[in-house]
Each structure stands twice: as C-alpha cells, then as structure tokens.
Chain A
Amino acid sequence: MDAEGKVAPSPADSVNTCNESFRAAVEQAGGAYVIRLYGSAGMEHVDELRRRLLEVPCAENARVVLDLSELHFVNSAGLGAFIALHRRCRELGGEVALVNPRRAVEQVLRVTNLDRLMPIFSDVESALKRWAQPPPPTQPPSA
C-alpha cells in the first residue's frame, strides 16, 4: 500500500480472474476442521460460501483452518462470511486460521486488517502445529 492507502499492483503470478466457479470441501485433520475453498468467492457465490461455513459445527474450542491456496477471488461479502465464522468459533473458545492465500487475496486480507483478526499460516500443518503447542507459561508478577 502506498501513502494514500492505494494498493500497488504486484507481479502477475497469482490471479485468475476467469475462474468463476466456487467449491468448498471440509475435512477433519489434527483435531481441527480444514475447509478448502476453490475458485471465486464473488458476489454470485457468496451465499454458497456463507452456507458452507455455517455447516461447520463450531463446538466448544473448535479450531478451523480455512485453506485459501486455491481461492482466486474474494470480495467484502466473502470476508464477512470469514468473520462470521471467526466470531462463532471465538464465542465458544475456538479459533480460525487462514492458510496460504494467493498474493491478491492476501493483499485484500491485509488492506482490510483482517490478518490481525485471523492469523495467516503458510500451510495447514503449521496452523495445526501452532495449536498443538501448549500456551506459553504466564510470567509471575515481579516483586
């Protein structure tokens, strides 16, 4: 982003504006739900995206990984669906992580500051590994 908040184009290695289909696949791995999103979460598919994310059973402490490596496009309504999932999980002590977004999608996440709400990992294993680690010990207050 430049000083005016405009997004500067980056090398054209990661955008497919022609792929307009959308698909989501859900599986369980390492005690978490992994949702892989494929294609374009544009305005014609956002209801489908919302519906698929709502189907994920966010039980207590549920951890959900959104694998974005094959997602070519997302708009603000799609981001809203991610946020709704994040809020639903967090209310029950769970968490949502984002994995391997393409450069253009990652730029959208960063320009909207959503990377501060949901951490971004390079791959599913890294996200699962981070959750497998015990939380850091709390420091006793210094005298």
Chain B
Amino acid sequence: MTVPPEFGIRESDLTEMVVPSNLRSAKEPERRIVRAMVRNGYDPETTFGLKLALEEAMTNAVKHGNCNDPSKSVVVRYYVDPRRVVVMVRDEGCGFCPENVPDPTAEENLERPNGRGIMLMHSYTTRVCYNRTGNEVWMLKEKSPPPQPTR
C-alpha cells in the first residue's frame, strides 16, 4: 500500500526503518519519531498521543502480527514536519479485520485485559488506515491549531 493521498505527502518524503520483531527494538523508531516531533515544535501532549498510538501499533505488530517470532521484522516508515506526522507500521502476519474488534469501552468489555490498542490509535491520531490484508497500518497526526483567543 502506498501512502494514502489524503495524508498530504509523497512516498519519497518517508524515512524507512526495519527493526527486529521484539518490543525492545521496537522502541528505536519511537525514539527517533519523538525526537523529530520535539525538533519540529510539537507540544508534549501531542507527542504523548502519537507515542501512545505508535506503541499500540508496534505492540500489535510484534505480538499479534508476528506472533512474538524473533526471526521476523517490523517495517516502520515515517515523516515529520511542523504540521503533521505520518507513520506506517507493517508486520509479516496475515492481518486482521479491525471492524471485528469489540468496543473495549462497552460496559461488558471493561474488564477485558486486552483490546484497547486499536481504539487508542483512533482516539489519539487524526486518521488511521489499514491495507486490505490488515498487516499494515498508516496513521496521520496533525498538529492542532493554536487555541483561539477568548473575547
């Protein structure tokens, strides 16, 4: 899948990293993206939100997509400018159907220990897209406009 057109960037804008499929290695792309966000003037709350969404995507890729198989890899592509952050995470798994994940905020699911990652990715980013297989997720986080002055 190529970068979704509504994300407003070109393929050539993206930086790619391939990391071994384990949670420790998965931190490196996160560190680079967070550092780039700080350099580009994002406030800590926006950075927190992107970091959370990215951790959920990476955890899903390592645990569910690649089934904790250390011989597999996770591909991360990212772009950061002062207006937007774009991140793609792809695993080697056979994918899933995001629509089939039950709503973790429903009363009957509140005590389930898992299943909140996808909901958090949607809550903390501007847009989330999957490829047809479901093993590649694209996230767009736009910088929020500055608060309007009150009269």
Contacts and interface: CB of A to CB of B under 8 A. Distances in A.
Contacts of B52: 73, 75, 108
Interface string A1-42: 100011111111011111010000000000000000000001
Nearest to B35: A18
A86 B58 CA distance: 26
Nearest to A47: B23
A54 interface: no
A44 B27 contact: yes
A90 to B, nearest CB: 9
Contact of B24 (A9, A44, A114): A44
B92 interface: no
Contacts of A12: 43-45
B44 A17 contact: yes
A43 B34 contact: no
Nearest to A78: B55
A20 B49 CA distance: 15
* Interface SS majority for chain A: loop
Contacts of A112: 104-105, 116, 119-120
B121 to A, nearest CB: 9
Interface in A93-143: 103-104, 108, 111-114, 116-117
A36 B136 CA distance: 37
Nearest to B43: A12
B123 A6 contact: yes
B9 interface: no
B45 A15 contact: yes
A5 B27 contact: no
B124 A7 contact: yes
Given A9-B49, A43-B27, A116-B110, A76 B120 contact: yes
A44 B120 CA distance: 18
A22 to B, nearest CB: 13
Given A14-B44, A46-B23, A83-B113, 10 more contacts: A6-B123, A15-B48, A17-B44, A43-B23, A75-B120, A76-B59, A80-B113, A87-B111, A112-B105, A117-B111
Interface of A: 1, 5-12, 14-18, 20, 42-44, 46, 73, 75-77, 79-81, 83-84, 86-87, 103-104, 108, 111-114, 116-117
